[in-house]
Structure formats: C-alpha cells, structure tokens
Amino acid sequence: MRQAGRSLPEYRASRTGVGMLEACAMPELVTEITLQPVRRYGVDAAVLYSDIVVPLAAAGIDVRIEPGVGPVMGRAVRTAAEVDALPDLDPAAMAPVGEAIRMLVAELGGTPLIGFAGAPFTLASYLIEGGPSRHHERTKALMISDPGLWDALLSRIAGIAATALVAQLSAGVSVVQLFDSWAGALSRADYERFAAPYSARVLAEVAEHSSAPRIHFGVGTAELLGSMAAAGADVMGVDYHLPLDEAQRRITAAVGPRPLQGNLDPAMLLAPWDAVAPRALDMLRAGRAAPGHIANLGHGVLPQTDPDQLARLVDLVHGFDPADAPPGQ
C-alpha cells in the first residue's frame, strides 16, 4: 500500500524536522520508514520510501516538496534553452538510495522490495508548470504547439527515469513501478501520442537490464489501461474507478491478460470497518479475473486513515481463499 506510512505515528516521529527529499537521501531513515508498515501490518511486500521526483532531485534539478502542496520547481522548464540545460542523471547520484536498498534487502529477507519512479509525462508536467497543476494547461499547450521541444524534454526525462529505475534494480529492488500520476488528464489519443512513447522507452530500458516485474500505474486512467499496458507492463496497477474484472477486459483486448494490482478506494477506509469489509471482498472476488492479483488500494493511503483499518484490511486479504466463493458472489 503506497504511502502507508503517512498515517502512522511512528512515521511522523521519524520525519520530525526532516524535509521529504532530504529524508529520501538518508539511507538509515529510508530503511526505517520503509520497514514501518511491514512491521506493523505484515504486508507481503515493502514499498521503498521515496518520491516520484527523487530522480529529478538526484539529477541536480532544483525541486523541493512543500508539505500540503507537492513538488515545486525552483524554476519552470519551458524553452529549448531550459531543456538543453537539464542535467542527465549520473547513476552515482543514486548512491544513497542504493545504500538504503541494500540495507533493506538484508533486513527484509524473503519479502520483496518495490522501487518506483515518476513517468515522463507526469514529471514533465511538474517541470513545465513549475509545481502541481489542476489543469496542466502550460503542459498541454506546449505539447500540442511545439512537438520538437516536447520530444526533447520528454526524451531527457525518460532517460532520467530509466537511469533511476535501473539503479534501484542494480541495488536490489525486486519489482519496479512506473508511476504516471497525471496521465488521466489526457485523452487516449493524446496519451498514445505524447506520453506512451516515453513511458515505453523507460520500461524497455528497464527490461534490458533486468527481468524484474514492471508495474505500470496511473490515476483516472480507466480509458487508458490498454494503451498503458501496450507501452509496457508485466503488472497493471488499477485505480478505484473501475472494477478489476472490467479493467482486465480492457487490458486483455489490448495486449492479453495481465496480473493486476489494486484497487480499493482509499477514501472508503474512513468508514467503519463493517462498511469497508464488503467492498474489500468485492475487490478480491473481482480480482480473480486477473490471476496473480496483488490486493492493494487503488491510490495512496490518506494521511488521516486509522492504522487499525489498514491492519484489518491486511488480515482480511490474508484470510481470503479465492476458492471459497464463486466470482461475483
């Protein structure tokens, strides 16, 4: 469960006085925070404590994470000169992350560790808008009006994201996820033309270096699942807008079936457990349409979530026997 730490008192204690991106570059702290939800919940995998913009920061691009806002750039990137001036990511700059990964792999034993990075379109939006954006208007305007500049920028970012994921794999993560937070802002045609080719480049470069499974995930992407799977995915992450069996139908139509990860709506966890449990069971039953289903939330854990709800959810998932009830019951 992504961002499971946000709701934990032990996480908040660990982060006191330490900025988000600073924390991501402190190996002992990354190790401790990554292990917290594993210890508390006994989940079947750990998610590396990091952020989708860590590869940009590691490349030396001026980005900070403002609490309650998100990633904010020191300066926006909108011109050919600004794109040319973007640094590449030196794999050596990923050393603190690599050190954390090595410590984690030693601690985790047989529990897999999932690494991740932001997808080129999402990172491009942060760079072009200068921070989080509701409408991505400068991004879309640049995208449709200057294809050459768009290609140069997205190619540069794809290189950074690929280098970051390969570095994580070299250090020992056993799964990587490409995270396209904002892909859902695009129509399918625009996604296929302006975003998918660069995500495909990242995922192909990862596959050249490792046979580790690649998860591909975005939010609000019900219309894009087939196109995202076609860009590359050993596992497709699905958000909460679509039941898993319907998601699987769309993915199968495009590329054949894939194991799915998801997709309980994290907002629902604020309801009493009696109301949440039937929805978790619905997810598990729909997930049988996707052999290899990785039970998960359909988006990150909300900070105000009661940790006991997450514990109940993990117990319910662990106690579920797919053979018990027929699909849809």
Active site residues: 2, 6, 15, 51, 126
Residues of span 88-127 touching its own copies by CB under 8 A: none
> Alpha-carbon distance 186 to 199, whole Å?
14
Task: Show contacts of 54-57: CB within 8 Å, 24+ apart.
Answer: 54/21, 54/24, 54/97, 54/117, 54/164, 55/89, 55/117, 55/118, 55/123, 55/160, 55/161, 55/163, 55/164, 56/118, 56/123, 56/126, 56/127, 56/157, 56/160, 57/21, 57/24, 57/25
Return left, alpha or beta for 28; rule: phi > 0 is left, psi -120 to 50 is alpha, else beta. alpha
Task: Select 64 or 140, whichever has its Cβ closest to its own copies.
Answer: 140
One residue of 69, 80, 207, 267 binding its own copies per CB under 8 A? 267
Stretch that binds its own copies, among 49-57, 99-107, 155-163, 219-227 (CB under 8 A): 219-227
Stretch that binds its own copies, among 64-72, 102-110, 171-179, 274-282 (CB under 8 A): 274-282
Q: Among residues 199, 202, 23, 56, which one has the least CA distance to residue 128?
A: 56
One residue of 20, 24, 97, 142 binding its own copies per CB under 8 A? 142
**169-208 footprint of its own copies as x/- string (CB under 8 A):** ---------------x--x-x-------------------
> Alpha-carbon distance 143 to 145, whole Å?
6
* Binding of residue 128 to its own copies (CB under 8 A): no
Task: Select 194 or 202, whichever has its Cβ closest to its own copies.
Answer: 194
Check: CB of residue 48 under 8 Å from CB of residue 104: yes
* Binding of residue 245 to its own copies (CB under 8 A): no
* Binding of residue 304 to its own copies (CB under 8 A): yes
Residues lying near its own copies in the complex (CB under 8 A) are found at: 135-138, 140-142, 144-145, 184, 187, 189, 220, 222-223, 240-243, 265-268, 270-272, 274-276, 279, 299, 302, 304
